[in-house]
A and B are shown apart, each in its own frame.
Chain A
Amino acid sequence: MATDELPDDPRVLRLTTPLDEPTLRSLRTGDEVWLDGTVWGVRDASLIRLFDEDKRPDVDFTGAVFLHTAPSVRRLADGRYAPVSVGTTTSMRMDRFTHGCVAELGVAAIVGKGGLSEASLAELSEHAAVYLAITGGAASAETLQVEEIEEVVWEDLMPECLWKFRVKGLGPLFVTMDSHGHSTYRDVQQTAARNLEAVYRRLGI
């Protein structure tokens, strides 16, 4: 999507990777972000290899953006891969790796759907990182924002390799967990629990 299609709103930001600490600290829940640059696709298997097996590729992840994904791809004649569908998977399965990502690797932002735990929220605060929510299930729009698969690390984990995507205007991404202890997921769950009690009273159940 072109920049001129973005709403004229100070809380809508177009950012280029890698992301630095002042930028990350300026982000608050409710902000909308569009990304240019590099996004790394990670998932259960690649995170297990990174942290449980303690294997590290020769990559500097300082200020990097991680995306919870396992894409459909087509292998091309030259051995490279073309994206068939790059979407986003439920983040909570990978929750236990948040510490490793932000504290050990220096990852700046985790893009996913469904949010992370309170423990992860504390990690984001401590290490100046954010969680960005993509609109789950809307992968075809997301796929066209991936310009190229630049590198594939650990091809043996297919489709759960470490994917280096070059993205242009990846978004809209919503800041739903910021580095100041705010979580939209917690807010909505608390509201929903209160509203549910009111519904029970109204229905007399």
Chain B
Amino acid sequence: MTTSFPKERRPEMTTTGTAAPDRIRLAAAEELYEDIVEVGAALYKKALTDLPPDVRGAIGRARERESGGALRRLDVMVKSIDTSDRTGIIVCQDTGICVYFVRLGTEFAINGAKLVQALREGIARATRRHDLRSSVVHPLTRANRQDNTGVEVPEVHVEFVDGGDELEILLVPKGSGSENMSFLAMLSPADGVAAVKRFILESVVKAGPRPCPPTIVGVGLGGTADLCMALAKRAILRPVAQPHAEPDIAALEHELLDALNETGIGPQGLGGSTTAFAVHIEYAATHISMNPVAVNIQCWRGERARATIAKDGTVSYGY
């Protein structure tokens, strides 16, 4: 007994004109930015349909630990990933609010303003092309442009790489279930690292089932209030099971992950020993009288897609 659809009603994404460009035409500006739009559109589709291998691996390891209902729920996640691989249906209905992280080599010649415009247009184009739900609205009027863009959205972070000759574009369509579970505390330096640990742990417990666990818990330490939250968001981009390069930070990540998995929140917050797949920490220097900590959570899908454009225009896609 398989669910059957009349052919015209199959819920697959349309495939017309969706080939991800494998080369950017650098010679003429018009073609260059048109190709960047297509790269942005391709990244959006990829992020929504093709989960990163590190996330798939983390679900596999969690399945070995869990039993009963927790295992049943992890099995549904695996089934959904397989279904998307097979049909091209987006994994989650939440098309998210898109955030780009761009690393631009100083030897890669491009107009930064036009790059940002093209990346935003890519999201709108993919939304129209694939009949994606537009999840982005004006914060007061709630007006929806129906193309997943709006004032300042998608947000585009740009980092410059001195001497680099590549353009790297990472896209995260952030779902609201997890983004709504974001927390910032301006703690006192006198409370030390103990207060930092407690804040992180209690934030994740308070979030409970809402961010769709098992999650990737991004933590920002230090900086200013806005930098601290940006660090927490940057922390969720790192592949699962890739610890921080500095041993002290990696040890803290490990300690917090073990602690979270002892809480028993489990997959979907319905019990189990896998509350989080990973805790990732990024830090910045802070003020002598400040001790900021931020938590930004990513749901079990860990959606992200990456394009790396070489100096000759060749594009390679990853996660």
Q: Are B264 and A195 in contact (CB under 8 A)?
A: yes
Nearest-neighbour CB distance to chain A for B60, whole angstroms, equals 16
Nearest-neighbour CB distance to chain A for B175, whole angstroms, equals 7
Judge if B232 is at the interface, Cβ distance under 8 Å. no
Contacts of A137 in B (CB 8 A): 77, 80, 91-92, 94, 175, 177, 212, 299-301
Complex Cα–Cα for A202 and B159 (A):
40
Q: Are A138 and B76 in contact (CB under 8 A)?
A: yes
For window 77-123 of chain A, which residues contact chain B by CB distance below 8 Å? 82-90, 92, 113-115
Contacts of B271 in A (CB 8 A): 184, 187-188, 191
Bitwise interface map of A from 24 to 66 toward B, beta carbon under 8 Å scored 1, else 0: 0000001010000000000000000000000000000000000
Contacts of B43 in A (CB 8 A): none
Contacts of B91 in A (CB 8 A): 137-140
Main SS class of interface, B: loop
Nearest-neighbour CB distance to chain B for A177, whole angstroms, equals 11
Contacts of B269 in A (CB 8 A): 114-115, 185, 188
Could you say which of B4, B87, B132, B264 contacts A188, with CB atoms under 8 Å apart? Answer: B264
Judge if B287 is at the interface, Cβ distance under 8 Å. no
Bitwise interface map of B from 171 to 214 toward A, beta carbon under 8 Å scored 1, else 0: 00001110010000000000000100110011001001110100
Bitwise interface map of A from 144 to 164 toward B, beta carbon under 8 Å scored 1, else 0: 111110000000000100000
Nearest-neighbour CB distance to chain A for B188, whole angstroms, equals 15
- With A85-B11, A148-B9, A203-B255 as contacts: A140 and B80 at CB distance below 8 Å: yes
- With A84-B131, A137-B212, A137-B301 as contacts: A192 and B92 at CB distance below 8 Å: no
Bitwise interface map of A from 123 to 149 toward B, beta carbon under 8 Å scored 1, else 0: 000000000010111111111111110
Complex Cα–Cα for A115 and B268 (A):
10
Bitwise interface map of B from 269 to 289 toward A, beta carbon under 8 Å scored 1, else 0: 111000000000000000000
Contacts of A192 in B (CB 8 A): 205, 208, 263-265
Contacts of A144 in B (CB 8 A): 3, 11, 83, 87, 89
Q: Are B133 and A72 in contact (CB under 8 A)?
A: yes
Complex Cα–Cα for A85 and B92 (A):
7
Chain B residue with Cβ nearest A86: B93
Q: Are A30 and B69 in contact (CB under 8 A)?
A: yes
Judge if B79 is at the interface, Cβ distance under 8 Å. yes
Could you say which of A32, A84, A135, A159 contacts B130, with CB atoms under 8 Å apart? Answer: A84
Complex Cα–Cα for A84 and B269 (A):
27
Complex Cα–Cα for A145 and B131 (A):
19
Chain B residue with Cβ nearest A32: B72
Q: Are B208 and A172 in contact (CB under 8 A)?
A: no
Q: Are B131 and A188 in contact (CB under 8 A)?
A: no
Chain B residue with Cβ nearest A189: B208
Could you say which of B9, B90, B262 contacts A82, with CB atoms under 8 Å apart? Answer: B9
Nearest-neighbour CB distance to chain A for B276, whole angstroms, equals 13
For window 227-283 of chain B, which residues contact chain A by CB distance below 8 Å? 255, 259, 262-266, 268-271
Q: Are B93 and A69 in contact (CB under 8 A)?
A: yes
Complex Cα–Cα for A191 and B265 (A):
8
Complex Cα–Cα for A133 and B80 (A):
16
Most buried by B among A3, A89, A144: A144
- With A84-B130, A88-B93, A148-B9 as contacts: A115 and B80 at CB distance below 8 Å: no
Q: Are B259 and A199 in contact (CB under 8 A)?
A: yes
- With A70-B133, A140-B80, A203-B255 as contacts: A198 and B262 at CB distance below 8 Å: yes
Complex Cα–Cα for A141 and B92 (A):
9
Q: Are A159 and B133 in contact (CB under 8 A)?
A: yes
Chain A residue with Cβ nearest B94: A87
Chain A residue with Cβ nearest B68: A30
Could you say which of A71, A74, A141, A196 contacts B202, with CB atoms under 8 Å apart? Answer: A196
Judge if B225 is at the interface, Cβ distance under 8 Å. no
Contacts of B132 in A (CB 8 A): 72, 84
Q: Are B3 and A147 in contact (CB under 8 A)?
A: yes
Complex Cα–Cα for A177 and B79 (A):
25
Contacts of A145 in B (CB 8 A): 3
Complex Cα–Cα for A3 and B1 (A):
8
Could you say which of A32, A71, A72, A193 contacts B205, with CB atoms under 8 Å apart? Answer: A193
- Pick the 4 closest A-B CB pairs, nearest first: A87-B93, A138-B80, A135-B76, A205-B194
26 sample A-B contacts, Cβ–Cβ < 8 Å, listed by A number: A70-B93, A74-B11, A84-B133, A86-B93, A89-B93, A92-B210, A114-B208, A133-B268, A135-B73, A136-B299, A137-B92, A138-B77, A138-B80, A139-B80, A140-B84, A140-B89, A142-B80, A143-B11, A148-B9, A168-B3, A174-B73, A185-B208, A185-B209, A187-B271, A199-B263, A200-B201
Known contacts A76-B8, A135-B77; 5 additional CB pairs below 8 A are A85-B89, A115-B269, A140-B87, A143-B89, A199-B263
